[in-house]
A and B are shown apart, each in its own frame.
Chain A
Amino acid sequence: MLALSGGRILDMFLEVKGLSKEFPVEFSLLGKPKRFLKALVDVSFSVKRREIFSIVGESGSGKSTIARVICGIYSPSRGQVLFKDSPLNNDRLREIQMVFQDPDASLDPRKKVKFLIEEGLRIHRIGEKLERNTKVREILSSVGLAEEVLHKYPHELSGGQKQRVAIARSIVLEPQLLILDEPTSALDVSVQAQILNLLLELQQKNDLTYIFITHDLKLVTHLSDNVMVMYLGHVMEMGPAADVIENPIHPYTKALLNSVPEPGVKKITEAISGEMPSPIDPPPGCPFVTRCPVAFDKCRSKPELCEVENRVVRCHLYK
């Protein structure tokens, strides 16, 4: 296991070891899978308690697949997920909850807010009816919603309010790890800041650990302690967020950062040309070789992850 930063490893809260996930896409006549989509290839990382760990990458990089494996929605093809030093099982999945990108898709349109927030408690048979009611009200106020919202349907709420309900649903079971899959990208700019502030406040108050999945590097700089950059199912660069963003090493991280428009700065950079190849038919060698501006001979073989200063990088330039 490659350590993120020497000496700082205290208690490993979540450890992902050599995780791979493949989806069969083509079957032979006898129903045996012939071709695979490689969504994750040998992904390892660890998250400390009370950390905000960000995963960034473009669509198709495998970041949401990781979230789903950790939540137990998908089972891994290879590798394992250790949560507080032991493998996950159904009883302990309660301690890991997820907030999805689009609250319109994750909230049942036919149920009122009270039912939606209480649902988890009911399923896990926690408390009597009265206790559950108090709990729901408590959670509601902690996500900044007024009580009258309880008897409304999702369609009567604004986008920001809906996302608050989704967050309330996920924290009502008092999880320790919250996986946030692009929680603000469906929201308006002025509301996005409110939701981020709420998430930070909840993290402080409830000692939560976050895995924050996003394609927005501006959010990473703002929020996270550590960041992992993914491309085509591979970890490309991982390390302390401030360092990675200030001084990226991997050509892909550099390109990604150069692509982000900065407010008030007039410059157009076409950082990299081309598009991400298909994960069904990935290029041999380095996954980034088809778009890399500094690719050379060696890149036809796949680079291993190596430690550079305080981070890990997958690139032949660093050995």
Chain B
Amino acid sequence: MSALLSVENLSVEFSLPEGNLRAPDGVSFTIDSKEFVGIVGESGSGKSVTALAIMGLIPNPPGKIVNGKILFNGRDIVRSKNHPRGREISMVFQNPLNSLNPNLKIGRQLTETLEEHYDLKKNEAHSRVVETMRKLGIPDPETMMNRYPFEYSGGMRQRTMIAMAMLCSPKLLIADEPTTALDVTIQAQILHLFQQLREDSETAVMFITHDLSVVSQIADKVVVMYAGKIAEISPTEQIFSTPFHPYTVGLLNSIPGKKNQKKRTLEAIPGNVPSLIDPPSGCRFHPRCEKRMDICTRKHPPIFNVDGSMVSCWLYQEVGF
């Protein structure tokens, strides 16, 4: 069976006054239908740009897809005129206040989505919106539709954004840090909502976050990105039981408050995330890596298959072949 979404060797280049930078740089991964994929990375790792590239929303200039293919249902959508954005692929952003129009009532913004994509009568659109809002746990949808975004709380706004994204029953939902701006109790509610979505709908989800522990709850597969490159792709259980890439190991070690942690000092990853305008030679993680070898400074490692994981690290060269 071919994948629902297949990103192949994707590179996006930005021309900035300080120089050109590439993030993502040669990234490949796949998402099957109904699969829940977590994309984890720090700021500047290229995770959000990858999402925008899939949506066909890279701001040009300064950005440009310079290499690679994005196949959706087997069709390359990078260069196609008829982009499936909106109806088949939809996206939820981090800050719902930036995504909602402050001057329109919530109800109008939701029915607009349906009227744009389907030939629906007003009352049909209305009842479908009510139904979707109810499914997403928005109490009293009829009244709530008559309110403006500022009258909503943070959690309700994010629910509304998810409702909007799910209205057309997309095949792929991209969520870019949907819980980062929320309080923990509300984050738990939204994560629970995503869990319900994956049980009740046919939608595949690409969930972008910087917090490994968030994806551990819901994802089937985790893609770890670092400085524009893929570090590791593993099934979720495996990434927590046996992480392979030294960066993944470092990330897991630097999570505070783990059970049976005796020492107060954390095992931090030394150094900083590198600038992508002038990235380190060879493997981009080598200046911060404890296990670096000669070859790491010279050549970027390809992806090796290790025990069902895909790891971009020279440590696994022999194991991989």
Please list the residues of chain A having a beta carbon within 8 angstroms of any beta carbon in chain B. 58-59, 158-161, 188-194, 196-197, 200, 215-223, 255-256, 258-273, 275-276
Contact = CB atoms under 8 A, between A and B. Distances in A.
B183 interface: yes
B257 A268 contact: no
A261 B216 contact: yes
A58 B184 contact: yes
B138 to A, nearest CB: 12
Contacts of A194: 268-270
Contacts of A266: 216-218, 236-237
Chain B CB within 10 A, most for which of A59, A189, A192:
A189
Contacts of A268: 188, 191-192, 195, 217-218
Contact of B185 (A191, A222, A271): A271
Contact of A270 (B188, B212, B241, B250): B188
Given A189-B211, A222-B256, 12 more contacts: A58-B184, A189-B254, A190-B254, A191-B272, A193-B268, A194-B268, A219-B257, A220-B257, A222-B261, A262-B213, A266-B236, A269-B192
A222 B266 contact: yes
A216 B264 CA distance: 16
Contacts of A161: 272
A188 B210 contact: yes
Given A189-B42, A196-B266, A263-B212, A255 B185 contact: yes
Given A160-B272, A196-B266, A217-B184, A264 B257 contact: no
A275 B152 CA distance: 11
Contacts of A272: 185
B174 to A, nearest CB: 20
Contacts of B153: 275
Contact of A222 (B191, B211, B264): B264
A222 B188 contact: no
Nearest to B189: A270
Contacts of B82: none
12 contacts: A58-B183, A58-B184, A59-B183, A159-B43, A161-B272, A188-B43, A189-B42, A190-B42, A193-B254, A200-B265, A264-B213, A268-B191
A280 to B, nearest CB: 14
B273 interface: yes
Contact of A218 (B187, B255, B265): B255
Contacts of A258: 188
Contacts of A220: 257
A295 to B, nearest CB: 16
Contacts of B217: 261, 265-268
A183 B195 CA distance: 31
Given A191-B272, A193-B266, A263 B257 contact: no
